[in-house]
Structure 1
Protein backbone atom coordinates (compact mmCIF):
# COMPACT_ATOMS: atom_id res chain seq x y z
CA UNK A 1 0.00 0.00 0.00
CA UNK A 2 2.91 2.38 0.44
CA UNK A 3 3.08 2.85 -3.33
CA UNK A 4 -0.55 3.98 -3.45
CA UNK A 5 -0.14 6.49 -0.65
CA UNK A 6 3.10 7.85 -2.10
CA UNK A 7 1.57 8.21 -5.55
CA UNK A 8 -1.54 9.95 -4.27
CA UNK A 9 0.59 12.33 -2.21
CA UNK A 10 2.69 13.11 -5.27
CA UNK A 11 -0.36 13.82 -7.44
CA UNK A 12 -1.79 16.07 -4.72
CA UNK A 13 1.17 18.46 -4.87
CA UNK A 14 0.48 21.68 -6.79
CA UNK A 15 2.66 22.38 -9.81
CA UNK A 16 4.33 25.32 -8.06
CA UNK A 17 5.54 23.04 -5.29
CA UNK A 18 7.04 20.64 -7.79
CA UNK A 19 9.13 23.27 -9.52
CA UNK A 20 9.88 23.09 -13.28
CA UNK A 21 8.93 19.81 -14.91
CA UNK A 22 11.94 17.61 -15.66
CA UNK A 23 11.45 17.18 -19.40
CA UNK A 24 15.06 16.33 -20.17
CA UNK A 25 14.45 12.88 -21.65
CA UNK A 26 12.27 12.16 -24.66
CA UNK A 27 12.12 9.80 -27.66
CA UNK A 28 15.60 8.28 -28.16
CA UNK A 29 16.90 9.76 -24.89
CA UNK A 30 15.49 7.50 -22.14
CA UNK A 31 14.51 8.57 -18.65
CA UNK A 32 16.42 6.65 -16.00
CA UNK A 33 14.82 4.91 -13.02
CA UNK A 34 17.63 3.42 -10.96
CA UNK A 35 19.46 1.00 -13.25
CA UNK A 36 16.57 0.87 -15.73
CA UNK A 37 14.85 3.28 -18.10
CA UNK A 38 11.81 4.19 -20.18
CA UNK A 39 11.04 6.35 -23.24
CA UNK A 40 8.61 9.26 -23.53
CA UNK A 41 6.60 10.85 -26.35
CA UNK A 42 4.73 14.05 -25.51
CA UNK A 43 1.46 14.87 -27.30
CA UNK A 44 1.32 17.44 -30.08
CA UNK A 45 0.64 21.00 -28.99
CA UNK A 46 0.82 20.36 -25.25
CA UNK A 47 1.02 23.66 -23.34
CA UNK A 48 3.57 22.31 -20.85
CA UNK A 49 1.23 22.70 -17.89
CA UNK A 50 -2.11 20.92 -18.39
CA UNK A 51 -2.46 17.48 -16.75
CA UNK A 52 -1.91 14.66 -19.21
CA UNK A 53 -3.62 11.29 -19.58
CA UNK A 54 -0.93 8.59 -19.63
CA UNK A 55 -0.58 5.45 -21.75
CA UNK A 56 2.11 3.05 -20.51
CA UNK A 57 2.86 0.71 -23.43
CA UNK A 58 5.04 -2.39 -23.06
CA UNK A 59 7.06 -3.36 -26.14
CA UNK A 60 7.10 -6.80 -27.73
CA UNK A 61 9.78 -9.49 -27.43
CA UNK A 62 13.28 -8.42 -28.51
CA UNK A 63 12.22 -4.80 -28.91
CA UNK A 64 12.80 -1.75 -26.69
CA UNK A 65 10.77 1.24 -25.62
CA UNK A 66 12.38 3.25 -28.41
CA UNK A 67 10.05 1.53 -30.91
CA UNK A 68 6.58 2.42 -29.47
CA UNK A 69 7.43 6.14 -29.19
CA UNK A 70 8.11 6.16 -32.96
CA UNK A 71 5.38 3.70 -34.02
CA UNK A 72 2.57 5.23 -36.07
CA UNK A 73 -0.12 2.95 -34.62
CA UNK A 74 1.00 3.71 -31.03
CA UNK A 75 2.56 7.16 -30.74
CA UNK A 76 0.63 8.29 -33.81
CA UNK A 77 -2.51 7.70 -31.75
CA UNK A 78 -1.35 9.22 -28.45
CA UNK A 79 0.25 12.38 -29.80
CA UNK A 80 -2.95 13.39 -31.63
CA UNK A 81 -5.12 12.85 -28.55
CA UNK A 82 -3.28 14.75 -25.85
CA UNK A 83 -1.96 11.57 -24.24
CA UNK A 84 1.54 11.16 -22.80
CA UNK A 85 3.10 7.94 -24.11
CA UNK A 86 5.45 6.05 -21.78
CA UNK A 87 7.38 3.02 -23.09
CA UNK A 88 9.46 1.12 -20.48
CA UNK A 89 12.51 -0.93 -21.47
CA UNK A 90 12.44 -4.61 -20.56
CA UNK A 91 15.55 -6.35 -19.26
CA UNK A 92 17.23 -8.24 -22.11
CA UNK A 93 14.46 -6.90 -24.38
CA UNK A 94 11.75 -9.02 -22.78
CA UNK A 95 9.49 -9.18 -19.72
CA UNK A 96 9.18 -11.32 -16.61
CA UNK A 97 5.40 -11.67 -16.47
CA UNK A 98 4.42 -15.31 -15.97
CA UNK A 99 4.20 -15.15 -12.16
CA UNK A 100 2.83 -12.49 -9.77
CA UNK A 101 4.79 -9.51 -8.45
CA UNK A 102 7.97 -9.93 -10.48
CA UNK A 103 10.66 -7.27 -10.56
CA UNK A 104 9.11 -5.99 -13.80
CA UNK A 105 5.78 -5.35 -12.06
CA UNK A 106 7.56 -3.28 -9.41
CA UNK A 107 9.48 -1.49 -12.17
CA UNK A 108 6.26 -0.57 -13.99
CA UNK A 109 4.93 1.01 -10.79
CA UNK A 110 8.21 2.87 -10.25
CA UNK A 111 8.01 4.18 -13.82
CA UNK A 112 4.58 5.69 -13.14
CA UNK A 113 5.86 7.35 -9.97
CA UNK A 114 8.84 8.76 -11.87
CA UNK A 115 6.60 10.05 -14.65
CA UNK A 116 4.51 11.87 -12.02
CA UNK A 117 7.73 13.58 -10.88
CA UNK A 118 8.48 14.77 -14.40
CA UNK A 119 5.02 15.63 -15.77
CA UNK A 120 1.64 16.87 -14.49
CA UNK A 121 -0.37 13.68 -15.06
CA UNK A 122 -4.11 13.09 -14.90
CA UNK A 123 -4.52 10.37 -12.24
CA UNK A 124 -8.03 9.53 -13.46
CA UNK A 125 -6.81 8.57 -16.93
CA UNK A 126 -3.94 6.11 -16.62
CA UNK A 127 -3.98 3.41 -19.28
CA UNK A 128 -1.89 0.25 -19.66
CA UNK A 129 -1.18 -1.24 -23.07
CA UNK A 130 1.18 -3.63 -24.79
CA UNK A 131 1.69 -5.76 -27.86
CA UNK A 132 2.47 -9.50 -27.92
CA UNK A 133 4.71 -10.28 -24.91
CA UNK A 134 4.18 -6.65 -23.96
CA UNK A 135 0.44 -7.26 -23.85
CA UNK A 136 0.96 -10.15 -21.44
CA UNK A 137 3.11 -7.82 -19.34
CA UNK A 138 0.34 -5.20 -19.35
CA UNK A 139 -2.13 -7.87 -18.23
CA UNK A 140 0.28 -8.87 -15.45
CA UNK A 141 0.65 -5.29 -14.17
CA UNK A 142 -3.13 -4.81 -14.28
CA UNK A 143 -3.59 -8.11 -12.45
CA UNK A 144 -1.07 -7.28 -9.71
CA UNK A 145 -1.22 -3.47 -9.40
CA UNK A 146 -4.30 -2.29 -11.30
CA UNK A 147 -5.94 -0.82 -8.21
CA UNK A 148 -2.78 0.62 -6.66
CA UNK A 149 -1.84 2.33 -9.91
CA UNK A 150 -5.42 3.53 -10.43
CA UNK A 151 -5.50 2.03 -13.93
CA UNK A 152 -8.49 3.33 -15.85
CA UNK A 153 -8.24 0.72 -18.62
CA UNK A 154 -6.12 -2.17 -19.89
CA UNK A 155 -5.66 -2.18 -23.68
CA UNK A 156 -4.26 -5.59 -24.61
CA UNK A 157 -3.09 -6.52 -28.11
CA UNK A 158 -2.41 -10.13 -29.15
CA UNK A 159 -1.27 -11.54 -25.82
CA UNK A 160 -2.98 -12.64 -22.59
CA UNK A 161 -2.32 -14.25 -19.24
CA UNK A 162 -3.71 -17.71 -18.58
CA UNK A 163 -7.45 -17.23 -18.17
CA UNK A 164 -7.36 -19.21 -14.90
CA UNK A 165 -5.03 -16.65 -13.29
CA UNK A 166 -6.12 -15.43 -9.85
CA UNK A 167 -5.67 -11.66 -9.94
CA UNK A 168 -5.11 -9.75 -6.72
CA UNK A 169 -6.16 -6.46 -8.33
CA UNK A 170 -7.75 -5.19 -11.54
CA UNK A 171 -8.13 -2.13 -13.75
CA UNK A 172 -11.46 -0.34 -14.01
CA UNK A 173 -12.01 -1.48 -17.59
CA UNK A 174 -10.53 -4.01 -20.02
CA UNK A 175 -10.31 -3.86 -23.82
CA UNK A 176 -8.52 -6.57 -25.78
CA UNK A 177 -7.93 -7.32 -29.46
CA UNK A 178 -6.71 -10.60 -31.00
CA UNK A 179 -6.49 -12.05 -34.50
CA UNK A 180 -8.15 -15.38 -35.22
CA UNK A 181 -5.20 -16.40 -37.40
CA UNK A 182 -2.46 -15.32 -34.98
CA UNK A 183 0.37 -17.86 -35.43
CA UNK A 184 2.72 -16.30 -32.85
CA UNK A 185 0.49 -16.18 -29.76
CA UNK A 186 -2.43 -18.32 -30.87
CA UNK A 187 -5.96 -17.07 -30.42
CA UNK A 188 -7.05 -18.53 -27.05
CA UNK A 189 -10.27 -20.31 -27.97
CA UNK A 190 -12.44 -21.59 -25.17
CA UNK A 191 -14.48 -24.77 -24.97
CA UNK A 192 -16.37 -25.65 -28.16
CA UNK A 193 -14.55 -22.89 -30.04
CA UNK A 194 -15.73 -20.07 -27.75
CA UNK A 195 -14.35 -16.85 -29.31
CA UNK A 196 -15.05 -14.78 -26.19
CA UNK A 197 -12.61 -16.79 -24.08
CA UNK A 198 -9.63 -14.35 -24.44
CA UNK A 199 -11.23 -12.15 -21.76
CA UNK A 200 -12.69 -14.91 -19.56
CA UNK A 201 -10.35 -13.93 -16.70
CA UNK A 202 -11.69 -10.37 -16.53
CA UNK A 203 -15.31 -11.40 -17.08
CA UNK A 204 -14.97 -13.60 -14.02
CA UNK A 205 -13.09 -10.93 -12.04
CA UNK A 206 -15.73 -8.31 -12.81
CA UNK A 207 -18.72 -10.66 -12.42
CA UNK A 208 -19.94 -10.08 -15.98
CA UNK A 209 -23.08 -11.68 -17.32
CA UNK A 210 -24.12 -12.12 -20.93
CA UNK A 211 -22.83 -9.73 -23.61
CA UNK A 212 -24.69 -6.43 -23.77
CA UNK A 213 -23.63 -5.42 -27.29
CA UNK A 214 -22.00 -6.82 -30.41
CA UNK A 215 -21.08 -4.90 -33.53
CA UNK A 216 -18.57 -4.68 -36.37
CA UNK A 217 -16.33 -1.68 -36.91
CA UNK A 218 -13.29 -0.67 -38.95
CA UNK A 219 -10.78 2.13 -39.12
CA UNK A 220 -9.47 1.06 -42.54
CA UNK A 221 -11.49 -0.59 -45.28
CA UNK A 222 -9.34 -3.73 -45.48
CA UNK A 223 -9.82 -4.87 -41.86
CA UNK A 224 -13.12 -5.36 -40.05
CA UNK A 225 -13.16 -6.04 -36.32
CA UNK A 226 -16.05 -7.67 -34.45
CA UNK A 227 -16.65 -6.30 -30.96
CA UNK A 228 -18.38 -7.96 -28.02
CA UNK A 229 -19.04 -5.89 -24.88
CA UNK A 230 -20.05 -6.69 -21.33
CA UNK A 231 -21.35 -4.32 -18.64
CA UNK A 232 -20.26 -5.80 -15.33
CA UNK A 233 -20.57 -5.31 -11.58
CA UNK A 234 -19.58 -1.97 -10.09
CA UNK A 235 -19.73 -0.10 -13.42
CA UNK A 236 -16.77 -2.09 -14.77
CA UNK A 237 -16.64 -2.99 -18.46
CA UNK A 238 -15.01 -5.57 -20.71
CA UNK A 239 -14.70 -5.38 -24.51
CA UNK A 240 -13.19 -7.86 -26.96
CA UNK A 241 -12.35 -7.12 -30.60
CA UNK A 242 -11.51 -10.01 -32.91
CA UNK A 243 -10.42 -9.91 -36.53
CA UNK A 244 -9.51 -12.45 -39.24
CA UNK A 245 -5.83 -11.44 -39.37
CA UNK A 246 -2.68 -12.48 -37.57
CA UNK A 247 -0.19 -11.12 -35.04
CA UNK A 248 -0.19 -7.33 -35.42
CA UNK A 249 -1.49 -4.07 -34.01
CA UNK A 250 -4.63 -3.29 -36.04
CA UNK A 251 -4.69 0.09 -37.77
CA UNK A 252 -6.55 2.61 -35.63
CA UNK A 253 -7.19 0.23 -32.72
CA UNK A 254 -5.32 2.16 -30.01
CA UNK A 255 -6.62 5.43 -31.43
CA UNK A 256 -10.24 4.29 -31.22
CA UNK A 257 -9.90 2.99 -27.67
CA UNK A 258 -8.43 6.28 -26.50
CA UNK A 259 -11.11 8.28 -28.32
CA UNK A 260 -13.86 6.27 -26.67
CA UNK A 261 -12.27 6.34 -23.22
CA UNK A 262 -11.65 10.09 -23.39
CA UNK A 263 -15.16 10.89 -24.68
CA UNK A 264 -14.06 11.86 -28.19
CA UNK A 265 -15.68 11.03 -31.50
CA UNK A 266 -13.62 8.18 -32.98
CA UNK A 267 -11.45 9.29 -35.89
CA UNK A 268 -8.57 7.81 -37.89
CA UNK A 269 -5.71 8.33 -37.56
Structure 2
Protein backbone atom coordinates (compact mmCIF):
# COMPACT_ATOMS: atom_id res chain seq x y z
CA UNK A 1 0.00 0.00 0.00
CA UNK A 2 2.84 2.38 0.87
CA UNK A 3 4.46 1.71 -2.49
CA UNK A 4 1.19 2.44 -4.31
CA UNK A 5 0.68 5.66 -2.31
CA UNK A 6 4.25 6.78 -2.96
CA UNK A 7 3.86 6.12 -6.67
CA UNK A 8 0.59 8.05 -6.76
CA UNK A 9 2.10 11.03 -4.95
CA UNK A 10 5.09 11.04 -7.29
CA UNK A 11 2.75 11.24 -10.27
CA UNK A 12 0.90 14.17 -8.72
CA UNK A 13 4.14 16.09 -8.25
CA UNK A 14 5.64 15.44 -11.68
CA UNK A 15 6.53 18.64 -13.57
CA UNK A 16 4.72 19.48 -16.78
CA UNK A 17 5.92 17.33 -19.67
CA UNK A 18 8.96 18.82 -21.34
CA UNK A 19 8.24 20.81 -24.47
CA UNK A 20 9.49 23.99 -26.07
CA UNK A 21 10.71 25.23 -29.44
CA UNK A 22 11.27 21.76 -30.89
CA UNK A 23 8.33 19.82 -29.46
CA UNK A 24 4.65 20.51 -28.87
CA UNK A 25 3.09 21.49 -25.57
CA UNK A 26 -0.43 20.06 -25.30
CA UNK A 27 -3.41 21.89 -23.77
CA UNK A 28 -7.21 21.70 -23.83
CA UNK A 29 -7.25 18.06 -24.81
CA UNK A 30 -5.53 17.91 -28.19
CA UNK A 31 -4.50 21.51 -28.93
CA UNK A 32 -0.82 22.39 -29.05
CA UNK A 33 1.64 25.26 -29.02
CA UNK A 34 5.41 25.81 -28.91
CA UNK A 35 7.53 28.40 -27.13
CA UNK A 36 11.02 29.86 -27.05
CA UNK A 37 12.64 31.88 -24.26
CA UNK A 38 15.85 33.88 -24.83
CA UNK A 39 18.65 32.59 -22.63
CA UNK A 40 19.40 36.05 -21.23
CA UNK A 41 15.81 37.21 -20.68
CA UNK A 42 15.13 38.70 -17.26
CA UNK A 43 12.49 36.95 -15.15
CA UNK A 44 9.59 37.38 -15.01
CA UNK A 45 9.46 37.49 -18.78
CA UNK A 46 6.84 39.04 -21.04
CA UNK A 47 5.71 37.17 -24.14
CA UNK A 48 4.35 37.72 -27.60
CA UNK A 49 1.83 35.17 -28.86
CA UNK A 50 2.09 34.66 -32.62
CA UNK A 51 -0.83 33.28 -34.64
CA UNK A 52 0.24 31.76 -37.97
CA UNK A 53 -1.47 32.22 -41.32
CA UNK A 54 -3.67 29.82 -43.31
CA UNK A 55 -2.19 26.32 -43.47
CA UNK A 56 0.66 27.39 -41.22
CA UNK A 57 1.73 25.76 -37.96
CA UNK A 58 3.44 26.47 -34.67
CA UNK A 59 6.35 24.36 -35.90
CA UNK A 60 6.69 26.49 -39.02
CA UNK A 61 6.47 29.73 -37.05
CA UNK A 62 9.04 28.53 -34.54
CA UNK A 63 11.37 27.75 -37.44
CA UNK A 64 11.30 31.41 -38.47
CA UNK A 65 14.65 32.61 -37.16
CA UNK A 66 13.60 36.24 -37.61
CA UNK A 67 10.89 35.74 -34.99
CA UNK A 68 13.35 34.11 -32.60
CA UNK A 69 15.79 36.96 -33.14
CA UNK A 70 12.97 39.41 -32.43
CA UNK A 71 12.31 37.61 -29.14
CA UNK A 72 16.02 37.90 -28.29
CA UNK A 73 16.06 41.65 -28.92
CA UNK A 74 12.81 42.25 -27.05
CA UNK A 75 13.81 40.01 -24.16
CA UNK A 76 10.43 38.31 -24.45
CA UNK A 77 9.24 34.74 -24.77
CA UNK A 78 7.94 33.80 -28.22
CA UNK A 79 4.80 31.65 -28.06
CA UNK A 80 3.71 30.05 -31.35
CA UNK A 81 0.01 29.24 -31.30
CA UNK A 82 -1.30 26.36 -33.41
CA UNK A 83 -4.66 26.08 -35.18
CA UNK A 84 -6.52 22.77 -34.82
CA UNK A 85 -6.92 22.49 -38.61
CA UNK A 86 -5.76 24.48 -41.64
CA UNK A 87 -7.20 27.66 -40.18
CA UNK A 88 -8.40 29.23 -36.93
CA UNK A 89 -11.87 28.41 -35.65
CA UNK A 90 -13.27 31.94 -35.89
CA UNK A 91 -16.76 33.31 -36.35
CA UNK A 92 -17.96 33.19 -40.00
CA UNK A 93 -14.81 31.45 -41.24
CA UNK A 94 -14.94 29.66 -44.62
CA UNK A 95 -15.35 26.17 -43.16
CA UNK A 96 -18.61 27.32 -41.53
CA UNK A 97 -19.71 30.83 -42.58
CA UNK A 98 -22.88 30.60 -40.46
CA UNK A 99 -20.89 30.03 -37.26
CA UNK A 100 -21.31 33.07 -35.02
CA UNK A 101 -19.01 32.09 -32.14
CA UNK A 102 -15.33 31.31 -31.75
CA UNK A 103 -13.70 28.79 -29.43
CA UNK A 104 -10.17 30.12 -29.80
CA UNK A 105 -10.11 32.34 -26.65
CA UNK A 106 -10.61 29.20 -24.54
CA UNK A 107 -7.58 27.65 -26.22
CA UNK A 108 -5.44 30.78 -25.77
CA UNK A 109 -6.37 31.02 -22.10
CA UNK A 110 -5.30 27.40 -21.69
CA UNK A 111 -1.97 28.18 -23.38
CA UNK A 112 -1.35 31.11 -21.02
CA UNK A 113 -2.16 29.04 -17.94
CA UNK A 114 0.07 26.20 -19.15
CA UNK A 115 3.09 28.27 -20.06
CA UNK A 116 2.84 30.06 -16.71
CA UNK A 117 3.67 26.69 -15.12
CA UNK A 118 6.78 26.38 -17.27
CA UNK A 119 8.33 29.86 -17.10
CA UNK A 120 8.16 32.91 -14.82
CA UNK A 121 5.61 34.79 -16.94
CA UNK A 122 4.99 38.53 -16.62
CA UNK A 123 1.26 38.67 -17.30
CA UNK A 124 1.39 42.44 -17.54
CA UNK A 125 3.55 42.26 -20.68
CA UNK A 126 1.70 39.90 -23.01
CA UNK A 127 1.20 40.85 -26.67
CA UNK A 128 -0.96 39.06 -29.24
CA UNK A 129 0.05 39.25 -32.88
CA UNK A 130 -0.45 37.35 -36.11
CA UNK A 131 -0.26 37.56 -39.89
CA UNK A 132 -3.05 37.09 -42.46
CA UNK A 133 -5.45 34.51 -40.96
CA UNK A 134 -3.39 35.03 -37.81
CA UNK A 135 -4.27 38.72 -38.01
CA UNK A 136 -7.92 37.67 -37.98
CA UNK A 137 -7.18 35.57 -34.91
CA UNK A 138 -5.50 38.59 -33.29
CA UNK A 139 -8.50 40.87 -33.89
CA UNK A 140 -10.73 38.18 -32.36
CA UNK A 141 -8.54 38.04 -29.25
CA UNK A 142 -8.59 41.84 -29.01
CA UNK A 143 -12.38 41.72 -29.00
CA UNK A 144 -12.76 38.71 -26.69
CA UNK A 145 -9.68 38.92 -24.41
CA UNK A 146 -8.57 42.56 -24.25
CA UNK A 147 -7.96 42.43 -20.50
CA UNK A 148 -5.55 39.50 -20.85
CA UNK A 149 -3.04 41.27 -23.12
CA UNK A 150 -1.19 44.58 -22.94
CA UNK A 151 -1.75 45.11 -26.65
CA UNK A 152 -2.40 43.62 -30.05
CA UNK A 153 -0.58 43.75 -33.40
CA UNK A 154 -2.73 42.23 -36.16
CA UNK A 155 -1.00 42.21 -39.55
CA UNK A 156 -2.88 41.90 -42.88
CA UNK A 157 -6.05 40.39 -41.48
CA UNK A 158 -9.19 41.37 -39.58
CA UNK A 159 -12.53 39.72 -38.75
CA UNK A 160 -14.52 37.59 -41.14
CA UNK A 161 -17.67 39.45 -42.18
CA UNK A 162 -19.93 40.44 -40.63
CA UNK A 163 -17.53 41.99 -38.14
CA UNK A 164 -18.85 42.51 -34.59
CA UNK A 165 -20.60 45.79 -33.78
CA UNK A 166 -19.42 45.57 -30.16
CA UNK A 167 -16.97 43.51 -28.14
CA UNK A 168 -17.56 41.76 -24.79
CA UNK A 169 -14.32 43.10 -23.29
CA UNK A 170 -13.08 46.71 -22.96
CA UNK A 171 -11.15 48.58 -25.69
CA UNK A 172 -7.47 47.81 -26.04
CA UNK A 173 -4.28 49.24 -27.48
CA UNK A 174 -3.99 47.87 -31.00
CA UNK A 175 -1.67 48.53 -33.94
CA UNK A 176 -2.93 47.19 -37.27
CA UNK A 177 -0.38 46.84 -40.12
CA UNK A 178 -1.47 46.34 -43.75
CA UNK A 179 -0.13 46.78 -47.28
CA UNK A 180 -1.94 49.13 -49.65
CA UNK A 181 -1.71 46.66 -52.56
CA UNK A 182 -2.63 43.45 -50.73
CA UNK A 183 -4.65 41.25 -53.09
CA UNK A 184 -4.73 38.19 -50.80
CA UNK A 185 -6.41 40.04 -47.94
CA UNK A 186 -7.38 43.40 -49.46
CA UNK A 187 -8.13 46.16 -47.01
CA UNK A 188 -11.74 46.12 -48.24
CA UNK A 189 -11.89 42.30 -47.95
CA UNK A 190 -12.89 39.70 -50.56
CA UNK A 191 -15.05 36.60 -50.83
CA UNK A 192 -13.58 33.19 -49.93
CA UNK A 193 -16.10 30.51 -50.86
CA UNK A 194 -19.25 31.25 -48.90
CA UNK A 195 -17.42 33.57 -46.50
CA UNK A 196 -16.06 37.07 -46.87
CA UNK A 197 -13.12 38.85 -45.31
CA UNK A 198 -14.10 41.92 -43.32
CA UNK A 199 -13.58 45.49 -44.48
CA UNK A 200 -10.62 46.81 -42.49
CA UNK A 201 -11.66 50.45 -42.54
CA UNK A 202 -15.18 49.58 -41.42
CA UNK A 203 -13.70 47.53 -38.57
CA UNK A 204 -11.41 50.39 -37.53
CA UNK A 205 -14.31 52.83 -37.59
CA UNK A 206 -16.65 50.54 -35.63
CA UNK A 207 -14.03 49.53 -33.06
CA UNK A 208 -12.81 53.11 -32.76
CA UNK A 209 -16.29 54.50 -32.22
CA UNK A 210 -17.27 51.84 -29.68
CA UNK A 211 -13.98 52.28 -27.81
CA UNK A 212 -14.13 56.06 -27.66
CA UNK A 213 -10.90 56.60 -29.59
CA UNK A 214 -11.01 60.28 -30.54
CA UNK A 215 -7.96 62.34 -29.64
CA UNK A 216 -4.92 61.99 -31.93
CA UNK A 217 -2.29 59.61 -30.53
CA UNK A 218 1.35 60.54 -31.13
CA UNK A 219 2.90 57.70 -33.12
CA UNK A 220 6.62 57.80 -33.91
CA UNK A 221 7.48 57.81 -37.59
CA UNK A 222 8.89 54.80 -39.40
CA UNK A 223 10.38 55.11 -42.88
CA UNK A 224 8.54 52.15 -44.41
CA UNK A 225 5.06 52.85 -42.97
CA UNK A 226 2.55 55.67 -42.60
CA UNK A 227 0.82 55.51 -39.22
CA UNK A 228 -2.16 57.34 -37.76
CA UNK A 229 -3.42 56.82 -34.23
CA UNK A 230 -6.21 57.82 -31.88
CA UNK A 231 -6.52 57.54 -28.11
CA UNK A 232 -9.43 57.15 -25.73
CA UNK A 233 -9.92 58.53 -22.23
CA UNK A 234 -8.49 55.36 -20.71
CA UNK A 235 -5.18 55.77 -22.53
CA UNK A 236 -5.74 52.99 -25.05
CA UNK A 237 -4.53 53.68 -28.59
CA UNK A 238 -5.88 52.50 -31.93
CA UNK A 239 -3.27 52.79 -34.70
CA UNK A 240 -3.38 51.97 -38.40
CA UNK A 241 -0.04 51.62 -40.20
CA UNK A 242 0.02 51.26 -43.98
CA UNK A 243 2.98 50.34 -46.16
CA UNK A 244 3.49 50.27 -49.91
CA UNK A 245 3.22 46.64 -50.97
CA UNK A 246 1.16 43.49 -50.97
CA UNK A 247 0.64 40.49 -48.71
CA UNK A 248 4.14 40.47 -47.25
CA UNK A 249 5.24 40.01 -43.65
CA UNK A 250 7.93 42.00 -41.86
CA UNK A 251 8.95 40.97 -38.32
CA UNK A 252 10.75 44.33 -38.04
CA UNK A 253 7.43 46.18 -38.32
CA UNK A 254 5.89 43.94 -35.68
CA UNK A 255 8.87 44.45 -33.38
CA UNK A 256 8.53 48.22 -33.76
CA UNK A 257 4.82 48.01 -32.85
CA UNK A 258 5.47 45.81 -29.82
CA UNK A 259 8.16 48.17 -28.56
CA UNK A 260 5.80 51.12 -28.98
CA UNK A 261 3.02 49.36 -27.05
CA UNK A 262 5.31 48.30 -24.22
CA UNK A 263 6.77 51.81 -23.92
CA UNK A 264 3.26 53.09 -23.18
CA UNK A 265 2.74 50.80 -20.18
TM-score (norm 2): 0.79
Distance in 1 separating the partners of 2:62 and 2:220: 31
Kindly report structure 1 stretches of 4+ aligned residues shifted beyond 3 Å. 19-23, 162-165, 194-198, 210-216
Matched, 1:98 2:88: no
How far apart are 1:133 and its partner, in Å? 0.5
Matched, 1:24 2:18: yes
- Structure 2 unaligned blocks of 5 or more: 1-12, 93-99, 190-198
- Structure 1 unaligned blocks of 5 or more: 1-18, 219-223, 265-269
How far apart are 1:156 and its partner, in Å? 0.4
Contact kept, 8 Å, 1:187 with 1:198, in 2: the verdict is: no
1:117-136 paired onto structure 2 within 5 Å: 117-136=117-136
How far apart are 1:28 and its partner, in Å? 2.3
Aligned to 2:193: none
Query: Helix, strand or coil: the match of 1:260?
Result: helix
Q: Are residues 232 and 260 of structure 1, via their aligned partners in 2, closer, same or farther at CA, if it must alter by over 3 Å? A: same
How far apart are 1:197 and its partner, in Å? 4.8
How far apart are 1:74 and its partner, in Å? 2.7
Distance in 2 separating the partners of 1:23 and 1:52: 20
Distance in 1 separating the partners of 2:184 and 2:76: 30
Aligned to 1:40: 35
How far apart are 1:24 and its partner, in Å? 2.3
Matched, 1:206 2:211: yes
Q: Are residues 188 and 22 of structure 1, via their aligned partners in 2, closer, same or farther at CA, if it must alter by over 3 Å? A: same
How far apart are 1:103 and its partner, in Å? 2.4
TM-score (norm 1): 0.77
Aligned to 1:61: 54
Aligned to 1:52: 45
How far apart are 1:171 and its partner, in Å? 5.5
Q: Are residues 171 and 212 of structure 1, via their aligned partners in 2, closer, same or farther at CA, if it must alter by over 3 Å? A: closer
How far apart are 1:263 and its partner, in Å? 3.1
Larger Rg: 2
How far apart are 1:214 and its partner, in Å? 6.4
Query: Helix, strand or coil: the match of 2:238?
Result: strand
Contact kept, 8 Å, 1:135 with 1:160, in 2: the verdict is: yes
Distance in 1 separating the partners of 2:170 and 2:51: 17
Contact kept, 8 Å, 1:188 with 1:198, in 2: the verdict is: no
State the Cα RMSD in Å.
Answer: 2.6
Aligned to 2:8: none
1:246-257 paired onto structure 2 within 5 Å: 246-257=246-257
